[in-house]
Structure 1
């Protein structure tokens, strides 16, 4: 059995190996054949996943330490502040590492098939490895500063991946939108770090949390200010109200990017940060209340929008925003374990849903509008059954993964000491019904009913397309010998195998959290006990209030109601939804246009800023000062040169005169200058 000291020697490899993959493919990958680019990218993701698996064995072995730290030389050492470049692994880190490396590796494998004929293949995998590097740095960080390095890094990598099709305006704009909106949240994170340095003289987690723990009566005040600023950072990164607007547009990137961002990496960073800082948040009830309210509001708001979207990826995008709201809600009522549990199961079924959607899009030659789908269950059976598992899991149908994690959040909200805990539970319950409805709506519209698509030539068919160059542009031509190049067909094995693995995880992934009320042992709660200390008041409330089993029955009935309504509207009587929308056009248009939030932001924030920038920066600074100073310098130079050039007349007598004048001037200076010096 490997020892903790042995594994610590290899801990640095977890983030560094993906970074090596980024350097290799990013610098010389253009010259590599695609098979070699794939091999580098997959190997540099598989090695960290293997080390993490090894780490699981070590940390769960008898007598293993609960926390494993690796500290290098001091990173920053100035008067009054020292920050070490240190990595730490505890049970919370271990779960996050498993999600990032495990799900991340499956997405890399899937991408080999999905991106097989895309231009910039080497660039895509370089960015993907870079994303993994920064996310692993974020998870392993022992200090707020190192976490912030990973935090900003995933923002950069998301910008590169969302805007991968940079020649397409919508993709370029989506990448910029994600980058700019996240800077708003990151500003709050920066201010929080400044306050932490001022208050604690450190940015190390262990130092700060220990200082808070030795003062149990310390509540509110500066801790609330720090916590609220951290919440602002988490709201940006995890796409909560009011900074959620970047995430739905992130679907402009390739579908594997959507799966990586929405399921396993970037959007979970905010949840992880709040859970990591639970000691700080537990001493700030007001900040926790804000987190709970933001989470509940985001969950139901995004679910409303998801109910009427027609783009299959956009439905899943708003579903992600809603599910992240659930995780925020859990953290806000102090149920950090429930939040992390849902983060874990959500990574499985949301990655599965996005990759299955990618397989549907692949089969339909890029079509994403569900109104142009239908009847696909017999055409692409592996994709159908994979997405079915994901849909049932996210809808909360037992015994799939989403049922256990979602119900744990609802139960913890119901029994919490939060004054509005029952209201939060009700909002979460209604959201669960809405989630079931819009996910089964997606299921029925995509796989059942008549076929609404045309038989396209699939330009992405595995092995069907070859590249040719015409007029300086890359075009796709279909090999007429390939029998799979025409019509709707199933994705290749390199895409369907990851789907099958994720489908299995979506079925059994929640069994690690089966509560005692349902005959389980809630293994994940016991696993995270060393990280999260249970508050006595919360424990008492949990014991004193109602039956968890009864609440679970209610949530299942609500999920089944959502299934039944979707069945009626989109399978049994397909015209019902359209007729209902026609009766309430104002309400339907309001929701279909996403409550006009983007338009409101554009009118109240973006347009005034652009106007101010053009007036002040473009007009006064650039047009007045910069251009004016340049024009003045040019005019001065021209004036002086016009005078000086008169000396160069080409006339010898003129030159002799200027020479005599110059000599006289020199003599006068020498004579009068000497007399002044002597006096």
Structure 2
């Protein structure tokens, strides 16, 4: 029997789906205000349902609940269901998706004013949220995979929202293709799991894995590796990371939704949810941490050399997801999810603040043409200060300090000192590029007419999301501890003097990085100019600006060889053989076309000849 609690859980994804359907079936006849109202209200109602579900979840002792809606088909022993599973992990993600997603939608109602296709925009945004909710609530991998593909499709539609610009279409296409590459690995992992364990139900898989597999065996290692392939594609980790920065082609609220509440967190969720499989494959689990450490360093250096404020934030997202992978790799699944939640707060704040800068400066987002905005945009400046402080993990007062500190302590406790040092160095890079971003955007003199004529954003739909996210990015947000004790295995625990030394070192690194960056970019910019004047410095900056040349590398490794094979095989005999039928069709068409002269006597002669031939055939036969 379906209870009121079950109905609320269902409504968390029905409301976004309903909003998307209403907007899609309006065929563009709705006004801009009506479209925004439907788009925002649907996510707001989903957020309220999530809040109610969360309260009841705590009242019922935080016990996991499952709800089977219906069975799809029966094929032998395979009976996939449409079922929902609510536990501490899915509730945490559900709160992030609907809560942060609501404020992003609310801000988008201000940001998208006057744009063409607002109905289409909110339709795809609602569908995006629906797909992500389906991904985290699904009680089996098949339903998770449907949501997984749904967010990929919606990212394509939203990244290419300004489709009249060819570069935006290519950015959307690039994101779609690269993430599909990862999806193939995930699909293979699902096939292996069903073949080996006989089910795709999440709870059944985690229960059967230690019964059937031996730890460190070939099959758990191979399966975990396939799941990791899917995760790195969706979460933009090495080597499938090159799509994320180009995804900035979409409207800024889209960037906020992708980077903070949906999509890039899907890979982290997948590994955390399938923790039992990865614990059976310790080598692959360590690889998760190594991938995260490498990504956070590569992205950190790339962020230092960006001039577009959104691309700086994009590489910072890549780096912060790298921290989450590092935590997963050392077995600190709870720390990874805690940082995922905190990151959603301050990254949504930073992207929405960047959107405010872009609109208020007449769509200017190049730091080299900004500056002098801190007096003109006080609320936006406060958003960057608080969000940037949380990103840099300034001690005690920011939420980012607590989540990042938990990751570093876990790395120390696991005995992976190299990963811990990578995390510390990544924190230093984060502090430096964050200060560079804030100083370049808000301080100094205005460097363009757009910056000089900037105007402050107004209205509740502009200010409310920023104020709420500012509060949640402080130590207040860190008080929301995800209820993960009953879901995820406990991570490594460290005690004693070493922990205090690490915590103090992390504080010194964060504060020292901010002070050094302030001194360098405010007082000694001549050092930067001299470095850029040196050919080696200029080449290094270009190398980092182009994100270590991965796009060029992939172009040489994959795109050009494929194009070469196509050119070589363009005239091969198989192709020629296949062209016989089209050639015959064209030749027949040309022959028959000559008979269409438009002269009645020709048609009459043809009819007489045809009738004569038919009679002769009948007589002879």
Q: TM-score, normalized by length of structure 2?
A: 0.93
Query: How far 1:271 sits from its partner (Å)?
Result: 0.2
1:379-528 superposed matches below 5 A: 379-399=376-396, 400-417=398-415, 421-455=416-450, 487-512=454-479, 523-524=481-482, 527-528=483-484
**Whole-angstrom distance in 2 between the partners of 1:238 and 1:43:** 28
2:502 to 551, 554, 560: 551
2:29 pairs with 1:31? yes
**Equivalent residue, structure 1, for 2:194:** 197
Alpha-carbon spacing, 1:196–1:656, altered in 2? closer, same or farther (3 Å): closer
1:413 positional shift: 0.7
What are the Cα deviations for residues 267-303 of structure 1, in whole angstroms up to 9, with x where unaligned?
Answer: 0000000000001111110110110110000001100
How far residue 372 of structure 1 moved from its aligned partner, in angstroms, is 1.4
- Say whether the 8 Å CA contact 2:197–2:205 is kept in structure 1: yes
Separation in 1, partners of 2:377, 2:474: 20
Name the structure 1 match of 2:541.
588
Shift of 1:666: 3.2
Structure 1 counterpart SS, 2:241? coil
Partner residue in 2 for 1:605:
558
Distance 1:243 1:652 in 2: 69
Residues 210, 280 of structure 2: 8 Å contact kept? no
Q: 1:379 to 1:621 in 2, by over 3 A?
A: farther
CA distance in 1 between partners of 2:58 and 2:82 (Å):
26
Task: Please give the alpha-carbon distance, in whole angstroms, between the structure 1 residues aligned to 2:609 and 2:318.
Answer: 85
Please tell me whether the aligned partners of residues 97 and 262 of structure 2 are also in contact (alpha carbons under 8 angstroms): yes
In 2, Cα distance between the equivalents of 1:654 and 1:451? Answer: 83
Q: Hey, what does 2:255 align to over in structure 1?
A: 258
2:156 matched residue in structure 1: 159
How much does 1:580 deviate? 2.7
- Residue of 235, 244, 247 corresponding to 1:247: 244
Cα gap change, 1:207/1:644 in structure 2, threshold over 3 Å: closer, same or farther?
same
Deviation at residue 615 of structure 1 after TM alignment: 5.0
> 2:304, 2:583 → 1: CA distance?
58
Find out whether 1:132 has 2:88 as its counterpart: no
2:42 equivalent in structure 1? 44
Question: Secondary structure at the residue paired with 1:397?
Answer: coil
Q: What is the correspondence of 1:527-566 to structure 2 with a 5 Å cutoff? A: 527-534=483-490, 538-539=492-493, 542-543=494-495, 546-566=497-517
1:657-676 aligned at under 5 Å gives the runs 663=615, 665-669=617-621
Residues 4 and 68 of structure 1 are in contact (CA less than 8 Å); yes or no, is this contact kept in structure 2? no
| 1:567 paired to 2:518 | yes
- Which residue does 1:632 correspond to in 2? 584
2:235 to 211, 227, 238: 238
- Distance in 2, matches of 1:105 and 1:276, equals 25
Instruction: Tell me how far 1:653 sits from its aligned partner.
Output: 11
Residue 218 of structure 1 deviates from its aligned partner by 4.0
DSSP-derived class of the 2:520 partner: helix
Provide, for residues 566-607 of structure 1, a one-character-per-residue CA deviation record: whole Å limited to 9, x for no partner. Answer: 111211233332223334333223222322211111122122
- Taking the aligned partners of 1:130 and 1:155, their CA distance within structure 2 comes to 11
Distance 1:436-1:649 versus aligned 2 partners, 3 A rule: same
Structure 1 gaps of 5+ residues are: 458-485, 514-522, 670-679
CA distance in 2, matches of 1:654, 1:43: 71
What are the superposed Cα offsets for residues 319-377 of structure 1, whole Å, 9 maximum, x if unpaired? 00000100000000100000001000000000000111111111111111111111211
For residues 179-224 of structure 1, the C-alpha deviation after alignment (integer angstroms, 9 at most, x for no partner) is 0001110010111111112111211111111112445844322111
SS of alignment partner, residue 30 of structure 1 = coil
Between the aligned partners of 1:386 and 1:339, the Cα distance in structure 2 is: 24
| Aligned residues between the structures | 616
Q: Are the counterparts in 2 of residues 309 and 315 from structure 1 also a CA contact under 8 Å?
A: yes
Q: Is the 8 A contact 2:364 2:450 kept in 1?
A: no
With over 3 angstroms needed to count, the CA separation of the structure-2 counterparts of 1:33 and 1:585, relative to structure 1, is closer
Q: Deviations over 1:70-120 (max 9, x none)?
A: 102221311121211111110000100000000000000000000001111
* Preserved CA contact (<8 Å) 1:455 1:488: no
- C-alpha distance in structure 2 between counterparts of 1:662 and 1:435, whole Å: 88
Q: Which has the larger radius of gyration?
A: 1
Partner of 1:282: 279
Distance 2:248 2:152 in 1: 15
Q: Distance in 2 between matches of 1:494 and 1:656?
A: 81
